[in-house]
Amino acid sequence: MRFFIALEIPDSCRESLKAVQKDLQQIVPEVRLTNNEKLHLTIAFIGEQSEKMIDDFTSIIKEAVSGISPFSIIPAYIDAFPNLHNPDTFWVGVKGDIDKLFVLRERIKDGIAKLGLNTDERRYVPHIAIGKVSNYFLSEEQEKKLQEMAVKEDFESINITSVKLFESIPEEGFHKHNTIAEIPLN
């Protein structure tokens, strides 16, 4: 099974992000948009592991959320990995109470490491992936339009009340996400 731990994006916010995706496609017609119903904010990607690990991963999340109350984040800007000029993945960054996100991330990462599994050591940037593109360079005009687009969007707050363990299943060139466990914040 292929696992990841993430925050789910509520339907109302996905609608706002759908508008951003549509605008992105107008600026970068070659972009392959992320299925709007699968939008999420990843805390940790675990990858292929035995189904027997579900209880371990659930326990890690339960420990990680200890003492963390529900909080809010707000989609705030558009960027890309590895960078906006030469993108592979377009994403929407968040602001708000992200300190709690970083605490969750570190606690979960530590729990995964205690199981002897590899963890991602790259700098964590909380984001919602909205599209992908291959071998592409943005023009200065496209970059400017994307930056202007991010400034004019008025996103609603996303209330985070739980953390989820997901399974990612390949399906006809895409991935289907199943919720395996949902652990509420205290």
For the stretch 133-184, pLDDT in tens is 999 999 999 999 988 876 556 788 899 999 999 999 877 666 788 999 999 9
CB 59 within 8 A of CB 47: no
CA distances from 41 to 74, 133, 144 (A): 12, 19, 25
Q: What is the CATH number of the domain that holds 36?
A: 3.90.1140.10
Cα–Cα distance between 65 and 52 in angstroms, integer?
A: 22
* Contact residues for 13 (Cβ-Cβ < 8 A; gap 6+): 75, 155, 156, 158
Closest CA to 126 of 156, 96, 152: 96
H or E element: which one contains 163? Answer: strand 162-171
Q: What is the mean pLDDT of the chain?
A: 92
H or E element: which one contains 39? Answer: none
Which domain covers residue 58, as residue numbers?
2-184
pTM of the complete model beyond 0.85 = yes
Q: State the total domains in the chain.
A: 1
Task: Answer whether residue 113 shows pLDDT above 90.
Answer: yes
